[in-house]
Amino acid sequence: MTTESPRWYKSSYSDNGGDCVEVAANLVASRGIVPVRDSKDPQGPALSVDAAAFASFVAGVKADAFGA
């Protein structure tokens, strides 16, 4: 078991009025998850997303698969 803590990252594109999320990609290798949280509430809950599911989501965003 690892005691590694999440290292939160917010995109440089996040200067859009505060509707942003932060991710902690450093836990992919050790735990197979990508924690996601609301950047406006860093002490609030975090959602743990399976790394493969998160990768699929990011690929869909890059491919504009979700529309505008």
Number of structural domains (the chain) is 1
Q: Is 23 exposed, middle or buried (0-12, 13-18, 19+ CB in 10 A)?
A: buried
Domain that holds residue 53: 1-63
Query: Most distant CA pair in the chain: distance in Å?
Result: 41
HSE, CB side, 13 Å, CA atoms: give it for residue 42: 10
Task: Give the closest residue to 9 by CA, choosing from 22, 27, 26, 28.
Answer: 22
Residue 31 maps to a domain:
yes
Residue 39 maps to a domain:
yes
Residue 17 maps to a domain:
yes
Residue 68 maps to a domain:
no
3-state secondary structure of 33: strand
What is the C-alpha to C-alpha distance for residues 20 and 18, in angstroms, rounded to an integer?
6
Task: Report mean pLDDT in 10-residue bins for the chain, 68 residues.
Answer: 80 74 93 94 95 96 88
Residue 14 maps to a domain:
yes
Residue 19 maps to a domain:
yes
Residue 44 maps to a domain:
yes
Residue 38 maps to a domain:
yes
